A and B are shown apart, each in its own frame.
Chain A
Amino acid sequence: MDSLRPTRIVQAIWTPLVLTVALTSFVAVIAATGDGVLARTVTDALIRMVLVIGLYIFIGNSGVLSFGHIAFTMIGAYATAWFTLPVLRKSIALQLPAFLAESQLPMIPSAIASAALASLVALVVGVPIMRLGGIAASIATLAVLGMFYTFYTNWAAWTMGAATLPGIPIYVNMWVALGWVVVAAFVAFAYQQSRFGLALRASREDEFAARASGINIWAQRLIAFVLSAFFLAIGGVLQAHFLGSIAVKNFWLALTFVSVAMLIVGGQGSLTGAVTGTAVVSIIVEVLRQFEVGIDFRGTLIQVPLGTRELGIALVMLLILIFRPRGITMGREIQWPFHSRQPLTERPPRDAHVSPISSLD
């Protein structure tokens, strides 16, 4: 079959492939330096990237801004704590029902189960909320976050309430986080090229035309919402197993805004935008941090006052938004560079069966 020719496959998955190669080589370089602090920074950025790709799946494809997604990150983080905390520690810290209290799942099944739980919650809250559009939908998702946030803060038996829940096994490093970024990128790309993704993107461009051509916007949004919740929860799982402790207050407005801002800065309309936004913002943050700590340049200490980093990051974001309101990538994907045909991403699939992506999964 034509679609199985290697170049066709490479061409079909060009965007996530380039992103994967670029990120992997970057991580390899960092790993080679052996710098533990820098490795932590990169891991943190990669975890954010999983979150932002998750956000992109919903926001990017539907054009509906969501402020509630961090609820799923929180659900994922706490679920993995319930599944993976050592039994003895669980019995001290939490009052869980027997099936949770007396068992301990391995890490990967726990990650999948936690994310599936978040997806299930997304399905339940999504059914009514996805009927809404525009700003009402955004505020509704914010209300959902507000409800879960308040509830988890006081759900002492399961979350230890406002206290930090410690002792979660730590296994996430740069490579684990990178692995999930790659999975998220490929899934997000496969989704956006799929029948469902294209239908949702059509509704983003013109709601009425999409409706007229028989697209059920509610159902399409719901699919994206559930899929997106999965990766936001994975981000939470990674965060939990990276820091070893979680607290409800870290899943609130600050994380919401930072992740949404990374997406918008990168360009909300493309997967490349999600990845670029996270990468650029994280790198700027790190460089400013180094200046705050002080850089020894040939004997002179170059140091900026504390707080410069926050001001700097806000300023850079404002400048990017002012000069490139559609984000750094302006919603474009990295394109197959070897011939002049229309790029795949902007071409509707001729048929689901010959669509290169569907032959992959």
Chain B
Amino acid sequence: MMRKRALVGLAAVALLATGLSKTVPAADDVTIGFAIALSGWMNAYDGPPLNGSKMAIDEFNAQGGILGKQIKAVIADTKTDVVEGAKAGAEVIAKGAQFVAVSCDYDMGAPAATVANDNKIIAISYCASDAKMGVQGIGPYVFSLEIFGQGEGAVGAAYAWKRGWKKAYAILDASIEYDKSVCDGFLEYFTKLGGEIIGADTFMQEDASIASQITRYKDAAASKGEPEVLILCSYIPGAASAIRQIRAAGINVPIIGGDSMDGDYWVQSVPGLNEHYAVTFGSKWGDDPRTEVNDFFKRYREKHGEPESSFPLNGYSMVQAIKIAAERAGSLETEAVLAELNKFTAEPLLWGATTFTPETHIDLVHPMTVVQIQNGKGSFADQITVSDPPNLKLIFPEFRADLYKK
């Protein structure tokens, strides 16, 4: 019986705590909820865009807000956990969020986006590259400010082709879906352009060593000729560790990766890294051909210090998209804003021209930036738009199985 009393007591404390923490937003504000990772590994990808969003909110508020209303942010931590993610979504909505920003990843962002969608509230993921972050996967209120993963891979293939690299080798980190999408897109588009895939291999993010993958690569190079480009579909930290081991084995082939390899915070892993390319949203090094991007990073540096990657662009664009759609609709009503978002056609957001349709809530064609690391230093390399993107069918497994059989 003692125990029961203790339980009730603890429950009362919990209740009291929740009751006290309630805050009700003023009706003349626009509230954007951020259900994103403030802690855990996802924070590495969510933190920079959150800073971007905060900058957008401050700048827009100084200019009068959205439809004359000041923008207010409410933030809840998903702790890089799916159950917590759903809770964080519910929490920001309970605190009055009219729009919700969710994590930069489909798996991590989906729970909060699902909660928002069920409440008929627009949710925008910072940079989930999975086409399921949208109408088909979650529902009509969910968007992602990202090119779909296969499209990212296709841009990599287009860049390789443009550089005259015709023989590719693929190494896939099979531990997450994003990596598979990028490699799928690359392989499909590269073959379509006429390139040759001389071999493919897989590893796992947490493998302590990729020595046997390197051995296999060398075998392929010995029997079929040196590959001219290596597509490495992985993310930090596994990717950095793989590149360190690849370069150490004397393999100096150009390496292409997706936006998970953007930035230069990881290059210390690979001393004097050369010939590394990442397909991403922009160059943070001040040499992007778009002046608004360079200006943005200048303002960013003043406020938040050196950006890790170009992801803050998406955070800024997220608030920008809401502002543009709401002002066009002349209302903050969800359905009205949604209708305007669905009409976006090459909308010039900070991260690039964005197109949504009622069916497609992720960009299929998007001007992407290729950034490079040479001598351990990052810089802009090229800007590429693939206008005939890979088939959306690539999302489905039966199709994919054939790709690797080559």
A–B touching in complex (CB under 8 Å)? yes
B-contacting residues of A (Cβ < 8 Å)?
18, 22, 26, 29-30, 33, 35-38, 40-41, 44, 92-93, 95, 153-154, 156-157, 160-164, 166-167, 170, 243-245, 247, 249-250, 272, 276, 279-280, 283-284, 286-287, 290-297, 306-307, 328-329, 334, 337
Q: Is B106 located at the chain interface by the 8 A CB criterion?
A: yes
Residues of A within 8 A of B18 (CB): 33, 35, 37-38, 290
Residues of B within 8 A of A163 (CB): 106-107, 130, 132, 177
Residues of A within 8 A of B77 (CB): 292, 306
A-B contact pairs, 23 of them (CB 8 A): A22-B4, A33-B19, A37-B87, A37-B91, A44-B83, A95-B397, A154-B174, A156-B401, A161-B397, A163-B130, A245-B110, A280-B7, A283-B10, A286-B14, A287-B10, A287-B13, A290-B14, A293-B76, A293-B91, A295-B17, A295-B20, A295-B21, A328-B3
B10 A294 Cβ-Cβ under 8 A = no
Taking the nearest CB of chain A, how far is it from the CB of B129, in angstroms? 11
Q: With A161-B397, A293-B76 in contact, is A40–B87 under 8 Å at CB?
A: yes
- Give the docked Cα–Cα distance between A70 and B377 (Å): 45
Taking the nearest CB of chain B, how far is it from the CB of A195, in angstroms? 29
B86 A36 Cβ-Cβ under 8 A = no
Give B133's nearest chain A residue, CB to CB: A166
A307 B3 Cβ-Cβ under 8 A = no
- Give the docked Cα–Cα distance between A170 and B114 (Å): 10
B11's partner among A26, A40, A334, A337 (CB-CB below 8 A) is: A26
Residues of A within 8 A of B11 (CB): 26, 29-30, 283
A-contacting residues of B (Cβ < 8 Å)?
1, 3-4, 7-8, 10-11, 13-15, 17-21, 23, 38-39, 76-77, 82-83, 86-87, 90-91, 94, 106-107, 110-111, 114, 118, 130, 132, 136-138, 174-177, 180, 396-398, 400-401
- Give the docked Cα–Cα distance between A336 and B26 (Å): 54
- Give the docked Cα–Cα distance between A337 and B1 (Å): 9
Taking the nearest CB of chain B, how far is it from the CB of A259, in angstroms? 13
- Give the docked Cα–Cα distance between A41 and B86 (Å): 10
- Give the docked Cα–Cα distance between A167 and B142 (Å): 13
Taking the nearest CB of chain B, how far is it from the CB of A23, in angstroms? 9
B137's partner among A38, A167, A290, A292 (CB-CB below 8 A) is: A167
Taking the nearest CB of chain A, how far is it from the CB of B398, in angstroms? 6
Q: With A18-B4, A295-B17 in contact, is A153–B82 under 8 Å at CB?
A: no
Most buried by A among B13, B107, B175: B107
Q: With A29-B11, A40-B86, A162-B174 in contact, is A294–B21 under 8 Å at CB?
A: yes
Give A288's nearest chain B residue, CB to CB: B17
Known: A38-B15, A41-B87, A166-B132. 7 other contacts (CB 8 A): A35-B18, A161-B397, A164-B82, A167-B137, A295-B17, A295-B20, A306-B38
Taking the nearest CB of chain B, how far is it from the CB of A17, in angstroms? 12
B20 A245 Cβ-Cβ under 8 A = no
Residues of B within 8 A of A95 (CB): 397-398
A243 B82 Cβ-Cβ under 8 A = yes
A161's partner among B15, B17, B94, B177 (CB-CB below 8 A) is: B177
Residues of B within 8 A of A290 (CB): 14, 17-18, 21
Residues of A within 8 A of B14 (CB): 38, 283, 286-287, 290
Majority-rule SS of A interface residues: helix
Give B88's nearest chain A residue, CB to CB: A37
- Give the docked Cα–Cα distance between A35 and B94 (Å): 9
- Give the docked Cα–Cα distance between A196 and B398 (Å): 47
A170's partner among B19, B94, B118, B176 (CB-CB below 8 A) is: B118
Residues of A within 8 A of B136 (CB): 92
Give A249's nearest chain B residue, CB to CB: B107
Taking the nearest CB of chain A, how far is it from the CB of B96, in angstroms? 13
Q: With A283-B14, A296-B21 in contact, is A243–B114 under 8 Å at CB?
A: yes
Give A159's nearest chain B residue, CB to CB: B397
Residues of A within 8 A of B177 (CB): 160-164
Most buried by B among A36, A166, A296, A306: A166
Give B174's nearest chain A residue, CB to CB: A154
Residues of B within 8 A of A38 (CB): 14-15, 18
B111's partner among A93, A245, A280, A329 (CB-CB below 8 A) is: A245
B90 A40 Cβ-Cβ under 8 A = yes
B20 A296 Cβ-Cβ under 8 A = yes
Residues of B within 8 A of A157 (CB): 397-398
A36 B90 Cβ-Cβ under 8 A = yes
- Give the docked Cα–Cα distance between A55 and B39 (Å): 30
Residues of A within 8 A of B401 (CB): 156
Q: With A160-B397, A245-B111 in contact, is A276–B3 under 8 Å at CB?
A: yes
Most buried by A among B14, B94, B114: B14
- Give the docked Cα–Cα distance between A37 and B77 (Å): 13
- Give the docked Cα–Cα distance between A293 and B87 (Å): 13
- Give the docked Cα–Cα distance between A295 and B15 (Å): 12
Residues of B within 8 A of A30 (CB): 11, 15
Taking the nearest CB of chain B, how far is it from the CB of A147, in angstroms? 15
- Give the docked Cα–Cα distance between A334 and B7 (Å): 14
Residues of B within 8 A of A22 (CB): 4, 7
B106 A164 Cβ-Cβ under 8 A = yes
- Give the docked Cα–Cα distance between A243 and B111 (Å): 7
B94 A244 Cβ-Cβ under 8 A = no
Residues of A within 8 A of B398 (CB): 95, 157
- Give the docked Cα–Cα distance between A18 and B38 (Å): 40
